[in-house]
Structure 1
């Protein structure tokens, strides 16, 4: 079934009320997008910034009356709105569209991330078979790729790992396939915990080999290596907890950080962590170090 999209360009001040008006008029979903090539990578703590020129796109069922629906939006908003456009959105199998464009990724000489529906390019390499589902972490984003690239260069045999902010489980599973003795996944999203365990089984690991927890229930015992690919704000907030999870002489890898946020991360960790490496890809960095 096709859908109708209503697009309205608004100011940041108008955006919340226009979004509410579209939903009240029957929109099935509403998205807010940058309409002026003004990137916002990560808000400061407590902020919800919007672009100076924001495009609101509301999705409606195709059998509505566009004139009547537009009038409803304006009535709910309470005043005349800027110029708008209606567009027909043809129905697609969006999951299949995404699958067509996801290909194997090489993260080391003998280490590949491979979509679970494709044959590995190198059957003799370590091949992590992945279907991220609704969770973050496919290896395509620079933050994840840099973590995997770093991990592929470490000797993790018989080590105990924690994948904090595990998403799809990609980092913890990679460590287990490379010979780690155990891995624990931690995430605030139940979908991530589900995806992690499904991907563990997909790679021939028992669910018990990669237990997953919400943060409040996660084990507190220090381990040999902590991997945390989240965002700079949470990494700073979680610094005491993440440092406590690393054994003395153990390693930590922090990613999800913009180059401009490097100083804030180092400041939060340098009293306990000696940083030994900083990787850069696009605007992102990945920092690795050893607990003093």
Structure 2
């Protein structure tokens, strides 16, 4: 056994103290996990929300004096008392090739209509299919989440030939890249996270579509639109959250061509009525394209037709 892990469950008010004590004692890394089943929605840049009850896991090198089981066991008693931990336990971890371990959890995914998502270190199962080559580690949007999968399925059902698409909240760029592989002539990808812009550009290079995809931070996209003939566009795909979707409704209306199509994703079922109300002045919702994913009951997609 090469590693010892010390697990502590405590209230979020004591997390900072627990982290400091673990690091002071020689922990090589600390992981934070939800102790219950409390959802945390995607934070804005600079925000670091925590669950009410948190499990901290400190990793120690078992080959050192401070990382021996006896030392970590004694440490667990000392820290638990100071942070009022409700649970404390130890576990041993075998040494592994950690650089490759995470890669074993990813595999090619077949979406609708012969569209595949393939991790960039694997060979596509079907070389004749439409294959999106992705790095799953850079940003949200690997295809393993229901919101992403259903947006991809919707895209495969559309006639995207020569269409201009906006992927708003692009994450990894997977929806914009899929649009280009399915026939779109141009994609504008937008995200508030600079890492997402970087990831989108890198994944576009991997899929040989970089020449037809431009990625921006929101303010840069606004400036670009003012200087170039971008709008109106044919399709907007926005896989984000209810609050920003509601706020973006008037802005999205200014971007779309008559009879354009918009797909909204990332909201829980109880939020659909509020989101629908925000878009009703600008878009006519098509009930045939509003449904809840069977594999994820906390997601609903709305698809509408622009009516200006």
**What interval of TM-score do these two structures reach, taking the shorter chain for normalisation?**
0.7 to 0.9
- Equivalence map 1:1-292=2 (5 Å): 2-36=2-36, 38-42=37-41, 48=49, 50-51=51-52, 53-62=53-62, 63=64, 65=66, 67=71, 84-205=88-209, 207-218=210-221, 219-220=224-225, 221-276=231-286, 277-281=289-293, 282-283=296-297, 284-292=299-307
Moved more, 157-166 or 93-102: 93-102
SS at match of 1:196: helix
Pairwise CA distance, 1:176: 0.6
- Please state whether the residue corresponding to 1:122 is helix, strand or coil: coil
How far, CA to CA, are the matches of 1:19 and 1:166 in structure 2? 33
SS in 2 for 1:96: helix
Q: 1:150 to 1:241 in 2, by over 3 A?
A: same
> Hey, what's the Cα distance between the residues in 2 that align with 1:68 and 1:113?
43
CA distance in 2, matches of 1:216, 1:251: 23
Q: How far apart are the structure 2 equivalents of 1:77 and 1:190? A: 41
Q: TM-score, normalised by structure 2?
A: 0.80
Q: Give, in whole Å, the separation in 2 of the partners of 1:68 and 1:88.
A: 11
RMSD between superposed Cα atoms in Å: 3.1
C-alpha distance after superposition, 1:99-154 (max 9, x if no partner): 33322222222322222333333333222222233211121110000000000000
Unpaired runs of 5+ in structure 1?
Answer: none
Bigger mean CA deviation after superposition, 166-175 or 233-242: 233-242
Distance in 1 (alpha carbons) for counterparts of 2:139 and 2:199: 6
SS in structure 2 at match of 1:33: strand
**What is the alpha-carbon distance in structure 2 between the residues aligned to residue 88 and residue 106 of structure 1?**
36
Q: Which runs of 5 or more structure 2 residues have no equivalent in the other structure?
A: 226-230
Question: Residues of 2 paired with 1:182 and 1:80: CA distance?
Answer: 56
Q: TM-score, normalised by structure 1?
A: 0.84
Q: CA deviation at 1:27?
A: 3.8
1:136-190 per-position Cα deviation (integer Å, ceiling 9, x unaligned):
1121110000000000000111111111121221111111111111001112223
Residues 161 and 172 in structure 1, CA contact (< 8 A), matched pair in contact too: yes
Total equivalences in the alignment: 289
Q: Distance in 2 between the 1:274 and 1:135 partners? A: 32
Asked if the contact 2:30/2:56 (under 8 Å) is kept, the reply is: yes
CA pair 44-168 structure 1, distance change in 2 beyond 3 A? closer
